[in-house]
Structure 1
Amino acid sequence: MSILAIDLGTTNTKVYLYEENSGAVLSTGSASYPMLYDKPGQMEQNPLDWWKAVSFAIRDCLNNFTGNADEINAIGFSGQMVGFVPMDNYGKPLYNCITHMDTRCRLEIEEMKADSELLKAGYNTPSFITSAPKFLWFKRNYPDIWDNMKTWLHPKDFIRYCLTGKMCTEITDASDTLFLNFHKHSWDPVMEKYGFDVKKFPEVYKSTDIVGEITEEAAAATGLKKGTPVVAGAADMACAAIGTRALNEGLVSVTVGTVGHLIAPIKSPDERHIGHIFQFCHAVPELYYAFGAIPAGGFAFAWLREIFESCMNEGALDKDELVKRMNNLAAKVKDGSEDLFFLPYLTGAQMPMFDPNAKGVFVGLKPGHKAGHMSKSVMEGVAFVFKQLIDSFTGQGIIVNEINLGDGGCKSDVWVHALKNIIGCKNTNLMMNKDSSPIGAAIIAGMGAGIYKDWNDASENLAKSVQLPYDQNAVKNYEKRYNVFNEIYPALKNTFADIYSLNG
């Protein structure tokens, strides 16, 4: 028997069918969708594009499966965080999704940062990766839509609604809004001071709750069996935590997807962390996680790839071939990229800088630098920021004894080498299956459907890893370069603000 996991990412959706006992991948399907941006700061997506992509990906997955849909015991979800879709009374989207990458709520962030009551209620500092400022921006700029909507849904919640007809959310996604009571798992009345009506906020479930089943309409659209149980699922980072076995304090997850993420389980949220790190509800009951993000993690490498691609003859290399070429060139470059540094702040900086004005920068360019140097420098730049995040975590008293590396960027040996040696943790492991979020979604679905009884046993069985050797010389070499890297942002901070003011 099997479990279907739907992973709704920032740029594409992936559907995985796992054998429930071994975690073996039985089949996959995927499809992509565009990001919509023609105004400064705008980053929107059409939720109907998601549904079209998910429907296709599920059918693709089932077509590639040697069995049939009757063998699927449960369906789970992982989804991009923070974004929301306003819904009408008839179950139709009233507007595009305002995604986690949208940066038009700058004024609302600054306004909410001054609200000590909100900070204590939400356990986090308002930022682009929290929903409340986006809610407030949208309410002010599209008041008619906000007033007329029935409710809003996070991205994965919209897809789950398309499959089940049930509008709801769950604790991991709800905890990034700033309006969830972390302990009661209910909406906090602090939202009322901003004119929000709790009746417009969706019902909150646990991640493992079975919230519905595949409807007849959804079965016709996807090929899934009508009546198949559907579990609430979780935010992609909560799923990644489970898919990289970050279930106990001390074991920290580093994942490099479109966005880079650092995840560390904690026993409880702490007001002392506010303003320093993010903290959210874990999918595992009575557990939470500290969280740090690099908005342009894997995105930075994709950006560089697109630049190289634009300089080539059309059709010379497809994307996968070009990525392989970039990795091969980077592998020939010495650690440190011959003193070329890269700040991966293409979409602004989150912690520890919290600077939306920050920009991507190459520092130290010289005639000898080629495509391989730039490719490796981008990987190293992302790894240096992960090191900064870990330093911020340990500075807050969060335990970091072991690192598990996962997701797309870790398919690159060069990137794994940079991450391992720049972070410098002696106990570093590489996940064998790099797609950690869908594995986490499958485990959550399995726990909800009663297929698994213990989180750790399920995670150990489905999310396997190998330990990486510790290279003391490489670690020491990167330590010197890390000190230089830490000098670059402070030197450019005022310049970034000046650049932003040019358009103001």
Structure 2
Amino acid sequence: MVEKYIIGIDGGSQSSKVVIFDLNGNEVSRGQERLQPMSTPDHGVVEHPGDDLWDSLCKASQKAMGSFPGNEEDIIGIGLCTIRFNRCLLKMDGTLASPAISWMDDRVSKPYEHKNDDVAYVTTSSGYITHRFTNEFKDTNANYMGMWPIDTDTWQWSDSDEVFDYYNIPQDMLFTIQDPGTILGNVTDKAAKETGIPANIPVIATANDKAVEALGSGIISSHSALVSLGTYIAGMILGQENTKNSKSFWTNFASIPGEYLYESNGIRRGMWTVSWFTDLYGEELTVTARKHGMSPEEFLNEEAAKSVPPGSDGLMTVLDWLPPADKPFKKGMMIGLDSRHTRAHMYQSILEGIAMTMKTNMDSMLDEVDQNIKEMVISGGGSNSDLMMQILSNVFGLPTKRNVTNGSASLGAAINVAVALNVYSTYEEATKHMVKVKDMFHPEEDKHAFYTRMNNEVYQHISAYTDGILRKSYSFFNS
């Protein structure tokens, strides 16, 4: 029997990843290309320079195809997943009228303002990349959260003139939208030449990046939760209802048509904070780690695991490196420093801060929906750390899985393709065959008890005491 293959694309915040899977979810080849640093020409403006979303994807695709050991004619489809909350303004021919607007840009949290007469279409990053691949003006409906005139009950454009007036996007400037698991178009000869991916392969609609990541993590049961350790850290569970006006979570489209994903409050610039910290130590840390045959992150993980107790000897990190728009005075901080503390303490305190913040956020969501979870799946680059995995298991008090494919958006995109093209008849069947567990971490009860007290009695109350002084200092440094 001839082996068939699926391409899963994950256009992330820091890099573009293209992974080729067999039909059992095994990775066959991959390519990855880092995005350029964001362009910030003005306060609140955050853009992807040039045509970086497409250019990086082309390079990643060429790498994946260059190392692909199979026959190109046996690739049956592409699942396309990209960053959510981006906004792309296109000319009539589908090219960019201006650089793609990042989810960190203030403009994406406001209705569209038509300031450039060259703009003929307003779409998402997935809409733009779909057009580059297929020359179609089509997009998945499940990547339209935020400032879009979409009816979240029907998954279609609103039929209310008032809604369109509020968002200020005429319907003729919007793409045709389709459900996840449907065919958006086929790879054109031009896109094939630029990416190295064969022409005429169908491009399949997926969803927003977090929903696709949840699918690729195997989250299809209400008893499982996902914590995604990315630039933005989020906690997610499946939901059947389009819950509105919730207090501790928001309702997102799932990657399975008609279903929803409940997403807790998260951490902006979450794992970015880890990268920021390792960069602070620069060449010294890099050289030391290299001598031990490790990356800087691997070296810090080992150093902390050997020498730092739970609670980091009283050092606590508050992860407000990118404050919310309604509380711009908030700042990241490390509190409790004394002479015992080393870089390993600082590093572990960041990981503990991530875990305790997400425990508080997830508990609030679960209490509101009256739901319990029995296990967690951890995805994203941060899940490569055994230390991070064990801290999360200890803080939550739950068995915690790390899958073989831990950057699971690419696999989730491939699962959408497998169901769309009838490789598997249901999403349950597809995830059973394609999602594989690599490691399981179990909570250490004494450490779970310690973290529970530390979080409930100390950590989650820090901001109540520090917000006042941060609010007063804000005017000194942000005039």
Residue segments in structure 1 that go unaligned for 5+ positions in a row: 106-130
Q: Report the Cα offset of residue 366 of structure 1.
A: 1.2
Q: Compared with structure 1, are the counterparts of its residues 79 and 320 closer, same or farther at alpha carbon in structure 2 (3 Å cutoff)?
A: farther
**Counterparts of 2:286 and 2:76, CA distance in 1:** 48
Can you list the C-alpha shifts for 1:322-372, whole angstroms capped at 9, x where unaligned? 11211121212111111110011111259xxx7443211101111221110
**Counterparts of 2:460 and 2:281, CA distance in 1:** 28
Aligned residues: 465
Which residue is 2:463 aligned to? 489
2:56 aligns to what SS in structure 1?
Answer: helix
**TM-score, reference length from structure 2:** 0.92
Q: Compared with structure 1, are the counterparts of its residues 477 and 302 closer, same or farther at alpha carbon in structure 2 (3 Å cutoff)?
A: same
Letter in 2 for 1:235: N
Which residue is 1:75 aligned to? 78
* Contact residue 285 and residue 296 of structure 2 kept, 8 A: no
Which residue is 1:384 aligned to? 356
**Counterparts of 1:313 and 1:431, CA distance in 2:** 28
**Counterparts of 2:89 and 2:80, CA distance in 1:** 20
Which residue is 1:16 aligned to? 19
2:386 paired with 1:422: no
1:144 aligns to what SS in structure 2?
Answer: coil
Identity %: 22
Which residue is 1:91 aligned to? 94
**Counterparts of 1:222 and 1:194, CA distance in 2:** 35
2:69 paired with 1:66: yes
Which residue is 1:323 aligned to? 297
Which residue is 1:457 aligned to? 429
Out of 254, 277, 288, which is 1:282 matched to?
254
Map 1:98-497; keep pairs closer than 5 Å: 98-102=101-105, 104-105=106-107, 131=108, 133-136=109-112, 139=113, 143-145=114-116, 147-177=117-147, 179-188=149-158, 189=160, 190-273=163-246, 275-292=247-264, 293-309=266-282, 317=290, 321-332=295-306, 333-349=308-324, 355-401=327-373, 402-425=375-398, 427-465=399-437, 466-483=439-456, 484-497=458-471
**Counterparts of 1:486 and 1:446, CA distance in 2:** 43
Q: Report the Cα offset of residue 455 of structure 1.
A: 0.5
* Contact residue 30 and residue 63 of structure 2 kept, 8 A: yes
Letter in 2 for 1:482: N
Q: Compared with structure 1, are the counterparts of its residues 358 and 320 closer, same or farther at alpha carbon in structure 2 (3 Å cutoff)?
A: farther
Q: Report the Cα offset of residue 29 of structure 1.
A: 0.4
Q: Report the Cα offset of residue 477 of structure 1.
A: 0.9
Can you list the C-alpha shifts for 1:281-314, whole angstroms capped at 9, x where unaligned? 1121221011132112211101101111166688
**Counterparts of 2:191 and 2:288, CA distance in 1:** 37
* Contact residue 15 and residue 35 of structure 2 kept, 8 A: yes
Q: Report the Cα offset of residue 494 of structure 1.
A: 2.7
* Contact residue 89 and residue 150 of structure 1 kept, 8 A: yes
Q: Report the Cα offset of residue 432 of structure 1.
A: 2.7
2:62 paired with 1:32: no
Q: Report the Cα offset of residue 86 of structure 1.
A: 0.3
1:10 aligns to what SS in structure 2?
Answer: coil
Residue segments in structure 2 that go unaligned for 5+ positions in a row: none
State the Cα RMSD in Å.
2.2
Letter in 2 for 1:361: M
Q: Report the Cα offset of residue 416 of structure 1.
A: 0.6
Q: Report the Cα offset of residue 398 of structure 1.
A: 4.5
Q: Report the Cα offset of residue 407 of structure 1.
A: 1.7
